[in-house]
Amino acid sequence: MSLLEVENLSLSIDETPILKSVELSVAPGEVIGLVGESGSGKSMTALTVMRLLPHLSRTSGRVTFDGIDILAATEDQMCALRGDDIGMVFQEPMTALNPVKTIGEQVAEGIRWHTRAGRAEAEERARRILDRVGLPEAKFPLSRYPHELSGGQRQRVVIAIACALKPKLLIADEPTTALDVVLQAQVLDLLRDLVAENHMGLLLISHDLAVVTEMADRITILRHGQVMEAGDTARVLSEQVHPYTRQLTQASMHVPERRPNAAAHHASSTGADKQGALLQVEKLTRLYPGRRLSLLRRGEPTRAVDDVSFSMMPGQSVALVGRSGCGKSTLARMVLALDKPSSGSIHFRGEDLTGKSEADLKPARRNMQVVFQDPYGSFDPRQKVERLVAEPLHVLDKVPTRRERREMVAHALHEVGLAEPDMDKYPHEFSGGQRQRLSIARAIITRPKLVVADEPVSALDVSIRAQILDLFAELNGKLGVAYLFITHDLTVARAITDEVMVMHEGRIVERGKTGEVLDHPQSEAAQALVAAAPDLHRAIARRMQEQG
């Protein structure tokens, strides 16, 4: 008998249909993957099971959990279920914990509430579960606050809260999306072990097919609130009967076609003559002051970037990969002259960028631009596209007239696949993928020689990600612009870069041709990254093998 049975579930919020006859079942000890792109209704399905839907929502159909009709249950009954028999893990470990309570309190809270256990007993149980999720008390006392933990550790606390009472069903909504690949692998292992130990059912929600394939026994693919295909993971993904399944898998494994460009072709970084280099970074170090220990004493400074040297040729596409917190973004900011290095030098087209005033940097700024990760955060919500995309234009020697400016913006929009009328819209009128196109339009409007892209596709859905990667590849060929791609996602690095630099704890530990480094990593850091990276090909192959 299934633990959770969702039959013919439809949901509408404020007259807008969200889910249409969704069918889903989870048996004890089973992992079900719920996959879909943003807006497909994955999270809403989870919230329906928890009955945590927003006001004005109307449901029909049946949801049965352990013999209880969820949709008809009273709020009191639901309160007893939530956190006890059904646990939930959220995506963002930063906001899922209360910053003013210690982790011990937060884990014990649910235990005390549901079991009426005393403070001491609840604390004891909290200690045990925290130990189980890999936060032993000796290193992580219960009196720690969330801000004292890293993202991965926080997600462990969230999992501890969800699993403290050994729920029968655990719902994990994008539990690893905010984590880097190594942490992702660890958290997924932990979830897998917990499922096996407690014979829990796990409903794993993710947009990442590779992750779901590695974890789930059965998979349900959702699109526009409807189930496209459901069934055994290996069968669904290997046969790819449904066109949408095929589209998703192909997008996940997409490698853009790249026109080899002449400049990059001749470039070889190892023996490059330093004259021709586009970017030359030497012995770059950035220290962050240590924690203040007393009024006059500070702790050891943190070496965010530690003695880094590298060079890039014009038109070359280089990936900078590493785990979160390894100093990738700090390095990128220094290259963009947005952050001052503590020591070392950066030469861009032969010109030293360090220690220059903003006015002296103008010519360099014209030739280097940036694309950020978050397509929602990288635009001022109160300005129209025309102004936003034209922002870099003021570094030009001759400030363009209004007409020229509109023409340039229109041209840039055209290059990234958007239309001219789009320039009179506000950023919120665009989807995530379109906004990332806007970011790219803003980056190329001054015809830069170098674009630094900081995780440019990690916030995007797979099919959109494939399109944006294509766009990057196309612009690389067309405009001859060099890319410094910062990413923790090796598939992205593999897709569009010539070379990879692996960064670990502020240092570059490995550099080489993309294929070579990713297939035969030498350094420990690179090996860890490669091993942890979810790979759809590999995952499907393994699934097939398991089933013979």
Partner 1 sequence: MSARAQTPNDGMASWIGKAFANRSFLTGFLITLLVAVVALTSFLWTPYDVTKLIIADKTQAPSLTHWFGTDHFGRDILSMIMVGARNSIAVAPVAVGIGMGIGVPLGMFAAARGGMVDEALMRLNDLVFAFPALLSAIMITAIFGPGAVNAIIAIGIFNIPVFARVGRAGALSIWPREYILAARAAGKSKTQITVEHILPNIANQLLVQGTIQFALGILAEAGLSYLGLGAQPPMPSWGRMLFDAQTRMVVAPWMALFPGMAIVVTVLGLNLLGDGIADILDPKSRRQR
- Residues at the site binding partner 1, with contacts judged by CB under 8 A: 14, 333, 336, 338, 358, 361-362, 365-366, 368-370, 372-374, 377-383, 388, 391-392, 394-395, 426, 428-429, 439, 442
Residue closer to partner 1 (CB basis): 328 or 504: 328
CB 348 within 8 A of CB 517: no
Paired with 452 in beta bridges are 370, 484
Residue closer to partner 1 (CB basis): 307 or 374: 374
Q: At what angle do helices 243-252 and 462-479 cross, to 10 degrees?
A: 50
Residue 380 CB, nearest approach to partner 1 (Å): 5
DSSP string, 474-529: HHHHHH--EEEEEES-HHHHHHH-SEEEEEETTEEEEEEEHHHHHHS--SHHHHHH
Residue closer to partner 1 (CB basis): 388 or 490: 388
Residue 375 CB, nearest approach to partner 1 (Å): 9
Residue 220 CB, nearest approach to partner 1 (Å): 28
Q: At what angle do helices 151-163 and 103-115 cross, to 10 degrees?
A: 10
Q: Which of 462, 33, 432, 417 is nearest to 247 (CA)?
A: 462
Residue closer to partner 1 (CB basis): 45 or 439: 439
Q: Is 18 helix (H, G, I), strand (E, B) or coil?
A: strand
CB 254 within 8 A of CB 466: yes
Cα of first residue to Cα of last residue in the chain, in angstroms, is: 26
Residue 452 CB, nearest approach to partner 1 (Å): 8
Residues near 135 by beta carbon (within 8 Å), at least 6 away in sequence: 103, 153, 156, 157, 160
Rounded to whole angstroms, the Cα distance separating 212 from 199 reads: 19
Residue 209 CB, nearest approach to partner 1 (Å): 28
Residue 238 CB, nearest approach to partner 1 (Å): 39
Residue closer to partner 1 (CB basis): 184 or 487: 487
Residue 111 CB, nearest approach to partner 1 (Å): 32
Residue 339 CB, nearest approach to partner 1 (Å): 10
Residue closer to partner 1 (CB basis): 455 or 510: 455
Q: Which helix (H) or strand (E) holds 170?
A: strand 169-173
Q: Is 11 helix (H, G, I), strand (E, B) or coil?
A: strand
Residue closer to partner 1 (CB basis): 13 or 263: 13
Rounded to whole angstroms, the Cα distance separating 198 from 169 reads: 10
Residue closer to partner 1 (CB basis): 126 or 471: 471
